[in-house]
Amino acid sequence: MTGIRHLPEAPTGRRPLASGAGIDAHRHDTHQIVYACRGVVSVTTDAGTWVAPANRALWIPARTVHEHRAHGDTDLRLVGLTDNPLGLRRPAVLAVAPLLRELVIAYTEPGASRGDERARLLAVLLDQLRHAPEQPLHLPTARDPRLAAVCAILHGDPADGSTLARLAARVGTSDRTLARLCRSELGMSFPQWRTQLRLHHALLLLADGIPVTTVAHRCGWASASAFIDVFRRAFGYTPGRAFTL
């Protein structure tokens, strides 16, 4: 990332973003919660990409260089924090319960309460945040050029159903080497990473209003029902409800 901006404090407030719009690479000296109460937001760092729909939020620790991108018409909410209630020193995706959602929206509304009332609102928000479970929705970045080449192939076509052995042959290595690299660099097996990739792409397509059946086929599922099952287990609701929450 080049042209990195430095902000002393992470901003708090509301920032509507059109689909495809974003916030270029920057860092701040305080922590931040990034939440899209409408649309989908992605955050990218050198370590990979995190994508969050409306029942997930993104935790950005202080001094992490990152970019935001909106997918679909996005109502972005930002909460800057001096405290680290999660104790996390890396980005993470967090589940957002209904109460936490409403607290974030209330805290970031233009003209929100000030003084003691605002302090009490933040205290409850932090209490809820401490209980927000982390979600395994990180799509890590490969470092090894062989694995990176395979990742690029599947980023270009998530529906590509090639076996690991066939992909290995395309990049001049073995499936055993790729499997080892997946574990050591991505922290998961190749099938787990491919599922994560497909879910990430599915969220972005859904945000653009693509029908569920079309999304299922573009992302490599044999049927819409198979896609719906995987999506529900990952996010807690069906893809048809993804942008009606």
pLDDT at residue 244, rounded to an integer: 53
Q: Please, are residues 5 and 24 in contact by the beta-carbon 8 Å criterion?
A: yes
Spatial neighbors of 208 by CB under 8 A, at least 6 apart, are 19, 71, 72
Buried b (16+ CB within 10 A) or exposed e, 45-84: beebbbbbbbbbbbbbbbebbbbbbbbbbbbbbbbbbeee
CA dist., res. 26 & res. 42, Å (int): 14
pLDDT at residue 47, rounded to an integer: 87
CA dist., res. 82 & res. 35, Å (int): 17
pLDDT at residue 101, rounded to an integer: 95
pLDDT at residue 243, rounded to an integer: 60
| Structural domains of the chain, with CATH | 5-138 (2.60.120.10), 142-241 (1.10.10.60)
pLDDT at residue 221, rounded to an integer: 96
pLDDT at residue 55, rounded to an integer: 83
CA dist., res. 87 & res. 7, Å (int): 21
Residues 35/28/86/90 CA torsion (nearest 10 deg): 90
Q: What are the residue ranges in the chain where pLDDT is below 50?
A: none
Q: Please, are residues 190 and 182 in contact by the beta-carbon 8 Å criterion?
A: yes
| pLDDT per residue as tens digits for the range 202-237 | 988 888 889 999 999 999 999 999 999 999 988 878
pLDDT at residue 118, rounded to an integer: 87
**Backbone φ, ψ for residue 129 (5° rounding):** -65, -35
